[in-house]
Amino acid sequence: MSKHAFVFPGQGSQFEGMGKDLYESSDSAKELFEKANEILGFRITDIMFDGSAEELKRTDVTQPAIFIHSVIMAKEMGDAFKPDMVAGHSLGEFSALVTVGVLTFEDGLRLVHQRALAMQEACELEPGTMAAVLALADEDVERVCSETEGVVVAANYNCPGQLVISGSVDAVTRACEGMKAAGAKRALLLPVGGAFHSPLMEPAREKLASAIESTHFNEPICPIYQNVTAAAETDPSKIKENLVAQLTAPVRWTQSVRNMKADGAVEFTEVGPGKVLQGLIAKIA
């Protein structure tokens, strides 16, 4: 039986003016936007609708902004939102969990905000960076990382031939040279504020763990394919566990999409700002 998968984007999909059309055209959307302002304690809608790209790029703004946009879009789809399975890229996993009933909008937003602040703090404690490696096999990327001195790991398996590595600035810079020597077409540093999905996020993982632990998780209406395992999950306690592990573990997006296809997904709909995931899915599947 052919199944319909809904996928949710992560950091990097934000754009100036995001969500303004939803706010102006729908009362129910407007209500949720205002509820988000209230929960966060500042008017994030002002930054989303009228802020600069620079303001939107701050982790503590980007993450809640993308989450709010994605969840409201899913709600505005009404009956058209009928997932047989869902997945989200990094932060997008939280959006996915709200849309399939695991978390309430309020709890989801609080966790996303806490996650963003914890990640921001971890970045300040230990500066790190990330780099995109193009046209090199996954195992070669992993090998170069393991042979490079310092903290550097494969962080995002985005699609075949596109991997992101993460770690300390020195180690990532050295690894980029190693990637090029191993035959990568390009290995370029990304304009990010930290080493996401690497061991350097350990302080953030510890903070988020207690917040997640004290939040109630329901069973989802359909399986969610989580970043850490790339496998279908419906058990709330396992979902919690994987969500905590996600901060220091790689995002297995390629593997998740392949597993969704293997389990019958024929149609993939991206919900949220941008079309980054559609491009990756086209290359994977």
CATH number, domain at 138?
3.30.70.250
Mean pLDDT computed over 46-72: 94
Last-in-domain residue among 167, 189, 211:
189
Residue 285 has pLDDT above 90, yes or no: no
Mean pLDDT computed over 13-40: 97
Residue 57's pLDDT is: 87
Residues 120 and 218 in one domain: yes
Residue 257 has pLDDT above 90, yes or no: yes
State the catalytic residue, choosing from 4, 89, 113, 197.
197
CA–CA dist 138, 152 (Å, integer): 14
Q: Band of the pLDDT at 260, cuts 50, 70, 90?
A: very high
| Residue 66 structure tokens | 């993308």
Q: Going by DSSP bridges, is the β-strand pair 128-134/232-233 parallel, antiparallel, or unpaired? A: unpaired
Residue 1's pLDDT is: 79
Residues 98 and 204 in one domain: yes
Whole-model pTM: value is: 0.96
Whether residue 84 is contained in a domain is answered as yes
Whether residue 194 is contained in a domain is answered as no
Is the CB of residue 199 less than 8 Å from the CB of residue 146?
A: no
Residue 193 has pLDDT above 90, yes or no: no
Residue 259 has pLDDT above 90, yes or no: yes
Whether residue 154 is contained in a domain is answered as yes
Residues 60 and 175 in one domain: no
CA dihedral 205, 88, 130, 167 (to 10 degrees): 30
Average pLDDT of the chain to the nearest whole number: 96
Residue 59's pLDDT is: 85
Residues 33 and 8 in one domain: yes
Residue 158 has pLDDT above 90, yes or no: yes
Residue 191's pLDDT is: 81
Residues 159 and 178 in one domain: yes
What percentage of the chain carries pLDDT values higher than 70?
100
Whether residue 210 is contained in a domain is answered as yes
Residue 16's pLDDT is: 95
Sign, CA dihedral 113-49-10-261, equals positive
State the catalytic residue, choosing from 90, 95, 198, 256.
90
Residues 174 and 224 in one domain: no
Range of the domain at 141: 127-189
Sequential DSSP letters for 171-201: HHHHHHHHHHHTT-SEEEE---SS-TTSGGG
Residues 162 and 277 in one domain: no
Residues 95 and 23 in one domain: yes
Whether residue 30 is contained in a domain is answered as yes
Whether residue 233 is contained in a domain is answered as yes
Residues 31 and 112 in one domain: yes
Residues 151 and 25 in one domain: no
Mean pLDDT computed over 162-186: 97
Q: How many domains does the chain have?
A: 2
Residue 140's pLDDT is: 98
Give the chain's radius of gyration (CA, Å): 18
CA–CA dist 205, 220 (Å, integer): 23
Is residue 197 flagged as an active site residue?
yes
